[in-house]
């Protein structure tokens, strides 16, 4: 059992709720689950065409959506960060001293072979245990 579990969530995929259920099962009494969403701001030339106010509004809306997804779940705290998904998950896990990461992975293509690219990066570089889940549906 784990005392601090990080659950990275892509809000546009349905596996986040399943990941939270698995994390609840692995959580020791009195432990904490952090539901993390990484907001990747548009990069390169795309960002030149976006109004900063619109980017801030999208970030706030994403944070509200994450809070809504985890509302009412015991021991779950929502956190949203800006950055590169894989690197931010690894860095935040170290920052909060997580002892486990529970994350979903999409069905890979040939490029990713066994795991999705973000899950593969986290598995390779995380300082703690990582449970990678597939959507059970």
- Cα gap 105→112, rounded to integer Å: 11
Q: What pTM was estimated for this model as a whole?
A: 0.88
Cβ burial, residue 37 (10 Å; 0-12/13-18/19+): buried
- The CATH number given to whatever domain includes residue 7 is 3.40.50.620
Segment 114-137, tens digit of pLDDT: 545 888 899 999 999 999 998 766
Mean pLDDT (the chain) is: 87
> Which residues, 6 or more positions from 101, have their beta carbon under 8 angstroms from its beta carbon?
5, 6, 7, 8, 89, 93, 122, 126, 128, 129, 130, 131
* 67 pLDDT above the threshold of 50: yes
Domain count, the chain: 1
Domain containing 8 equals 2-133
Segment 80-103, tens digit of pLDDT: 999 999 999 999 999 999 999 999
* 110 pLDDT above the threshold of 60: no
Residue length, the chain? 137
């Amino acid at each position: 059992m784990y005392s601090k579990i990080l659950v990275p969530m892509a809000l546009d995929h349905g596996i986040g709720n399943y990941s939270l259920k698995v994390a609840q099962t692995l959580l020791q009494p009195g432990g904490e689950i952090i539901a993390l969403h990484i907001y990747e701001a548009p990069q390169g030339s795309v960002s030149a065409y976006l109004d900063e106010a619109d980017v801030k509004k999208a970030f706030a809306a994403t944070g509200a959506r994450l809070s809504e997804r985890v509302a009412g779940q015991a021991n779950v705290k929502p956190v949203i960060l800006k950055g590169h998904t894989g690197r931010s998950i690894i860095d935040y896990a170290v920052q909060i001293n997580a002892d486990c990461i529970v994350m979903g992975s999409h069905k890979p293509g040939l490029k990713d072979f066994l795991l999705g690219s973000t899950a593969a990066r986290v598995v390779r570089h995380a300082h703690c245990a990582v449970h990678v889940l597939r959507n059970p549906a």
